[in-house]
C-alpha cells in the first residue's frame, strides 16, 4: 500500500525483482444512490447504495489480478501500480487521482469497464479513451391541462417524454 491522499481511493504497488516499466491497473470503486432489489447473493448490503454500474466486479477483478501478480512478483520486470479510483460516477475522480502525482511515473494505465450488452466471454478493446465522460443535466417537464380531468393525460404525456429520454440515453 502506498500513501494516497484521496479520501476513498487506494493505491498499491507490486514491485518486480527486475528493472522495467511502471504500469497501472485501474478500477473504479464507487456505488450509485440506488436501492438494490436484485436479491442476488452478492447484492449490496447497504440500503440505498448499489454497484449498479458493476464497480464491485471491477474492484474484485483488480484485487484478483493484484493477488496473482503478487504471487508472481519475482517474474515481473518493472512495477505494477494498483489504483482503486474514487468518483467515477460523479466525474473528476481520474483528474484528482492524476493531480496527486501518484501516477507520474506510470507509462501506461490499463482500465476496464463491464459492458453487459456484449456476449459473455467477449472482451472489447480500444486504444485511448472509452466510456469516458459524465454528463449531468436537469429537465423540468411542465404539463398543461385545460380541464382538471385532463391532468392525468398531461401527466402521462410528461412521463412518456421522460421514458423516451431514458431510452435515448441508452442508445
Q: How far is the CB of 51 from Zn ion (least distance, A)?
A: 9
Shorter beta-carbon distance to Zn ion: residue 75 or 118: 118
Q: How far is the CB of 89 from Zn ion (least distance, A)?
A: 7
Q: How far is the CB of 98 from Zn ion (least distance, A)?
A: 18
User: For Zn ion, which residue has the nearest CB?
Assistant: 53
Q: How far is the CB of 131 from Zn ion (least distance, A)?
A: 7
Residue (of 91, 86, 95, 104) closest to 24 by Cα position: 104
Shorter beta-carbon distance to Zn ion: residue 113 or 157: 113
Shorter beta-carbon distance to Zn ion: residue 20 or 91: 91
d(CA 94, CA 138): 24
Asked if 58 and 85 count as a contact pair (C-beta separation under 8 A), the reply is no
Q: Where are the alpha helices (DSSP H) in 52-117?
A: 55-71, 93-99
Shorter beta-carbon distance to Zn ion: residue 79 or 111: 111
d(CA 43, CA 159): 29
Site for Zn ion, rule CB under 5 A = 53
Residue 170, helix vs strand vs coil: helix
Amino acid at each position: 500500500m502506498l500513501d494516497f491522499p484521496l479520501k476513498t481511493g487506494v493505491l498499491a504497488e507490486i514491485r518486480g525483482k527486475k528493472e522495467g516499466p511502471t504500469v497501472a491497473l485501474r478500477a473504479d470503486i464507487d456505488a450509485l444512490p440506488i436501492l438494490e432489489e436484485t436479491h442476488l447473493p452478492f447484492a449490496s448490503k447497504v440500503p440505498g447504495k448499489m454497484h449498479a454500474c458493476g464497480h464491485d466486479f471491477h474492484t474484485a477483478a483488480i484485487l484478483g489480478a493484484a493477488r496473482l501478480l503478487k504471487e508472481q512478483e519475482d517474474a515481473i520486470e518493472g512495477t505494477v501500480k494498483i489504483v482503486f479510483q474514487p468518483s467515477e460516477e460523479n466525474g473528476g475522480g481520474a483528474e484528482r487521482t492524476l493531480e496527486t502525482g501518484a501516477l507520474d511515473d506510470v507509462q501506461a494505465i490499463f482500465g476496464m469497464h463491464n459492458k453487459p450488452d456484449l456476449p459473455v466471454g467477449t472482451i472489447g478493446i480500444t486504444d485511448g479513451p472509452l466510456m469516458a465522460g459524465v454528463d449531468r443535466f436537469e429537465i423540468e417537464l411542465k404539463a398543461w391541462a385545460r380541464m382538471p380531468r385532463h391532468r392525468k393525460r398531461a401527466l402521462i404525456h410528461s412521463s412518456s417524454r421522460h421514458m423516451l429520454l431514458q431510452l435515448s440515453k441508452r442508445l
